[in-house]
């Protein structure tokens, strides 16, 4: 996460991370790298030196030659896990695969961590347990401030092209639910991956495969089963692709003890019931909460106004602060704790608001969701894969308020307003784009269900610009622009200015906008409208001048009617074919209206044609007219679908090329005498 508007639920049981950008590796880079000693790598690693490499291209940084996970289930439900793996480094940019981390807490003890390097020439290197660095784990940008997580970090030396680096990690785990996951797909090709389970007598298991065909296991001993996959293709990151969990292959394993119903979740209703139990007695209001509710709503004439008053209190007066300790990653703290301390994470804030709403006769339900749309899909089994908690608030039919747009019509619960109490900027009644159309777990008092959050109309997220300009016979453009933003377009600007008080900082977005649209310009005046009033549209008013905006060509003057703002996007202008869908942050509807008064002595000689393009995912319409001594340019740009499949990638590329062409078009002015 990159904002306090987001918060993290308990992390899934940590796996090995090979991403240089993680906070653990930033710690590693700043820490003293341990000195490795000479020592033979294990036999299983040496056996990999002659393994044929799977298909790959010249840009591949490394190959995961071998990955093995062994899961031993004990009769008391504890788990012992051994992870092994070895990479062959192919390029200098693959050196980070020699840097490994494992995060753990009080109930996921790491008992051993070792690493080795087999160089192309020379003697093996070994990193022993005593050379592993241990750090406290705190990642504010990931949505929590205080945790009981720790991280063990290991740097295998000589992770250079041609060398093989490997690791072995042993860990003991006491899971909250008897569910495990095997994540076998990586950002590099995998030659072979294995997953082995050892079950006590009488135990059973069930598996669900996600984004990969089901593969049957082989029995390899008494109550042991093993899955083997070979030549697994890599996932190459693409701009605006679905989140990792939406495209990567993995297997969910539910463990079932004998003679009991205790197991991993077999359906979303079971997971909802588990969450509901965790909330028992957590939503009970204290006398202090009841008194505060009465104080906040005493002057509210309607139920709608009461809900708004309580929501505003939650957004502005309850500070976000994450404390993730044990089951606290999934269980909200009691409402009275959050209220008295005036802080909490997303679960805590949602639970407290639910308790306060109940005091004014409004029912509400916690909604577990993901901040990246597509992380959870209906095709997936129930799993602890959510990273945020918001609220579904029942809105009586008697409340008719056009500002309440984030409404879900539930067949049993009625009208539900989807609201994020952690989001301090998005107004009550709206929902930011990345949460729209996501699948979320709605938790009711004794059950739960997977629902799809509504997608709002494009008009709820828009930028409307109007500009009045004059251009002289030397091509200098002068004028002013009025801009109005609503929805995410407004909240992004408010978030950027949250801690900024200088006018110079507040006009930087305007400078960036102008720089993308013209060469030389100077902003002469600028002001921000409704910066703090989140219930009102955000806006800019500014004036500027730009020399050489119009281009002289003999006695002709060429003027681009589209003065500022770019809608064209070169995301698909790549050599490699697109593999994954293109994801948009949210729906969008923008309009521009620019009027340019032409210089005296000139008339319009030629205007570009109108542009009209309409696809299921978006539309674009522009028109250029001559009205007396003025050129008037109008356009609308709309995104209607939030995910564009690869099958429509060519249409999307054509869509943006048409827009780019329209944005480059010029009007031709000529001296009136030659008319």
CATH code (residue 575): 2.60.120.1130
- 208, 234, 256: which is the final residue of a domain? 256
| Residue 15 domain flag | no
My answer on whether 451 and 491 are in the same domain is: no
Angle made by CA atoms 314, 2, 28, in degrees to the nearest 5: 130
Helix, strand, coil percentages in the chain from 3-state DSSP, rounded to 5? 20, 35, 45
* % of the chain residues with pLDDT over 70: 91
Instruction: Indicate whether 263 pLDDT > 90.
Output: no
Of the candidates 250, 272, 262, the one whose C-alpha atom is nearest the C-alpha of residue 73 is 262
The answer to whether the CB of 116 falls within 8 A of the CB of 39 is yes
Length of the chain in terms of residues written = 675
- 234, 256, 278: which is the final residue of a domain? 256
My answer on whether 242 and 316 are in the same domain is: no
Give the confidence band of 81 by pLDDT, cuts at 50, 70, 90. Answer: very high
Instruction: Indicate whether 33 pLDDT > 70.
Output: no
Residue 413 has what DSSP assignment? T
- 419, 434, 455: which is the final residue of a domain? 455
* pLDDT the model gives residue 262: 55
My answer on whether 292 and 216 are in the same domain is: no
* pLDDT the model gives residue 77: 87
pLDDT digits (tens, 9 = 90+) for 330-384: 889 999 999 999 999 999 999 999 999 999 999 999 999 999 999 999 989 898 8
Instruction: Indicate whether 309 pLDDT > 50.
Output: yes
- Two tokens at 551? 């281009």
My answer on whether 390 and 492 are in the same domain is: no
Mean pLDDT of 405-432: 96
My answer on whether 40 and 171 are in the same domain is: yes
Instruction: Indicate whether 296 pLDDT > 90.
Output: yes
Helix axes 346-359, 303-317, angle to 10 degrees: 150
| More confident call, 20 vs 517 | 517
* pLDDT the model gives residue 566: 96
Give me the helices (H) in 185-302, please: 244-247, 268-278, 287-297
* pLDDT the model gives residue 15: 36
CATH code (residue 230): 2.60.40.3140
My answer on whether 549 and 617 are in the same domain is: yes
Q: CB burial class (10 A; 0-12, 13-18, 19+) of residue 234?
A: buried
My answer on whether 140 and 223 are in the same domain is: yes
| Residue 481 domain flag | yes
Rounded to 5 degrees, φ, ψ at 413 are -95, -10
My answer on whether 208 and 274 are in the same domain is: no
| Residue 140 domain flag | yes
My answer on whether 50 and 81 are in the same domain is: yes
Instruction: Indicate whether 454 pLDDT > 50.
Output: yes
| Residue 265 domain flag | no
My answer on whether 465 and 401 are in the same domain is: no
| Residue 12 domain flag | no
My answer on whether 66 and 167 are in the same domain is: yes
CATH code (residue 392): 3.10.620.30
* pLDDT the model gives residue 17: 32
DSSP letter string over 214-232? ----EEEETTEEEEEEEEE
| Residue 639 domain flag | yes
DSSP letter string over 494-517? HHHTTT---HHHHTHHHHHHHHTT
131-135, 158-162, 483-487, 664-668: the lowest-pLDDT one: 131-135
- Two tokens at 488? 């995410």
Mean pLDDT of 137-148: 55
Instruction: Indicate whether 140 pLDDT > 70.
Output: no
The answer to whether the CB of 434 falls within 8 A of the CB of 456 is no
Residues with Cβ < 8 Å from 627, sequence gap 6 or more?
none
* pLDDT the model gives residue 222: 87
| Residue 16 domain flag | no
Measured CA to CA, the distance from residue 163 to residue 88 in angstroms comes to: 6
Q: Which domain holds residue 57?
A: 23-256
The answer to whether the CB of 623 falls within 8 A of the CB of 667 is no
Instruction: Indicate whether 24 pLDDT > 70.
Output: no
My answer on whether 366 and 471 are in the same domain is: no
Angle made by CA atoms 375, 324, 187, in degrees to the nearest 5: 35
The answer to whether the CB of 370 falls within 8 A of the CB of 436 is no
| Residue 581 domain flag | yes
What is the C-alpha R_g of the chain?
29
Give the confidence band of 137 by pLDDT, cuts at 50, 70, 90. Answer: low
* pLDDT the model gives residue 325: 65
> How many independent structural domains does the chain possess?
3
pLDDT digits (tens, 9 = 90+) for 538-554: 999 999 999 999 999 99
């Amino acid at each position: 996460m990159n904002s306090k508007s987001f918060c993290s639920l308990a992390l899934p049981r940590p796996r090995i991370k090979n991403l240089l950008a993680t906070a653990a590796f930033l710690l590693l880079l700043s820490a003293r790298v341990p000195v490795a000693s000479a020592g033979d790598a294990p036999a299983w690693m040496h056996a990999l030196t002659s393994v044929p490499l799977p298909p790959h291209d010249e840009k591949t940084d490394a190959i995961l030659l071998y990955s093995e996970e062994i899961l031993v289930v004990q009769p008391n439900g504890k788990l012992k896990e051994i992870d092994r793996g070895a990479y062959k480094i192919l390029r200098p940019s693959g050196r980070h695969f020699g840097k490994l981390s494992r995060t753990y807490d009080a109930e996921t003890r790491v008992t051993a961590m070792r690493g080795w390097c087999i160089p192309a020439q020379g003697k093996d290197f070994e990193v022993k347990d005593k050379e592993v660095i241990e750090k406290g784990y705190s990642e504010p940008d990931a949505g929590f401030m205080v945790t009981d997580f720790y991280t063990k970090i290991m740097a295998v030396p000589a992770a250079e092209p041609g060398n093989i680096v490997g690791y072995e990690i042993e860990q003991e785990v006491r899971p909250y639910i008897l569910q495990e996951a095997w994540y076998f797909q990586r950002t590099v090709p995998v030659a072979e991956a294995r997953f082995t389970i050892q079950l006590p007598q009488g135990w059973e298991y069930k598996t669900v495969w996600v984004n990969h065909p089901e593969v049957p296991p082989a029995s390899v001993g008494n109550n042991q089963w093993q899955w083997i996959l070979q030549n697994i293709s890599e996932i190459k990151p693409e701009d605006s692709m679905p989140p990792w969990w939406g495209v990567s292959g993995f297997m969910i394993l539910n463990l079932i003890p004998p003679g009991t119903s205790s197991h991993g979740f077999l359906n979303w209703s079971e997971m909802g019931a588990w969450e509901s139990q965790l909330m028992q007695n957590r939503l009970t209001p204290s006398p202090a909460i009841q008194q505060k509710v009465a104080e906040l709503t005493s002057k509210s004439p309607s139920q709608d106004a009461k809900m708004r008053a309580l929501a505003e209190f939650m957004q502005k007066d309850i500070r976000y602060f994450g404390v993730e300790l044990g089951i606290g990653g999934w269980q909200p703290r009691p409402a009275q704790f959050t209220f008295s301390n005036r802080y909490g994470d997303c679960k805590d804030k949602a639970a407290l608001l639910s308790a306060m709403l109940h005091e004014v006769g409004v029912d509400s339900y916690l909604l577990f969701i993901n901040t990246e749309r597509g992380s959870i899909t209906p095709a997936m089994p129930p799993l602890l894969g959510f990273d945020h908690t918001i609220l579904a608030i029942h809105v009586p039919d008697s409340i008719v308020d056009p500002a309440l747009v984030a409404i879900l019509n539930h067949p049993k619960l009625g009208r539900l307003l989807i609201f994020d109490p952690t989001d301090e900027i998005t107004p009550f009644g709206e929902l930011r784009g990345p949460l729209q159309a996501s699948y979320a777990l709605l938790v009711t008092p004794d059950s739960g269900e997977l629902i799809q959050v509504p997608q709002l109309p494009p008009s709820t997220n828009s930028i409307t610009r109007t500009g009045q300009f004059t251009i002289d016979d030397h091509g200098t453009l002068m004028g002013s622009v009025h801009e109005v933003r609503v929805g995410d377009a407004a909240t992004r600007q408010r978030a950027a200015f949250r801690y900024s008080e200088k006018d110079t900082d507040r006009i930087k977005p305007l400078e960036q906008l102008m720089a993308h649209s013209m060469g030389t310009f100077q902003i002469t005046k600028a002001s921000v409208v409704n910066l703090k009033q989140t219930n009102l549209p955000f806006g800019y008013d500014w004036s500027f001048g730009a020399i050489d905006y119009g281009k002289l060509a003999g006695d002709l003057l060429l003027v681009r009617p589209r003065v500022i703002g770019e809608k064209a996007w070169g995301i698909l202008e790549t050599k490699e074919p697109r593999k994954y869908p293109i994801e948009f942050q949210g729906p969008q509807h923008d309009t521009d209206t620019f009027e340019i008064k032409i210089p005296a002595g000139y008339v319009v000689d030629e205007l570009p044609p109108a542009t009209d393009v309409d696809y299921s995912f978006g539309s674009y319409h522009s028109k250029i007219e001559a009205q007396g001594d003025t050129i008037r340019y109008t356009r609308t740009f709309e995104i209607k679908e939030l995910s564009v499949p690869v099958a429509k990638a060519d249409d999307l590329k054509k869509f943006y090329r048409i827009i780019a062409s329209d944005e480059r078009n010029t009007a031709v002015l000529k001296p009136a005498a030659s008319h």
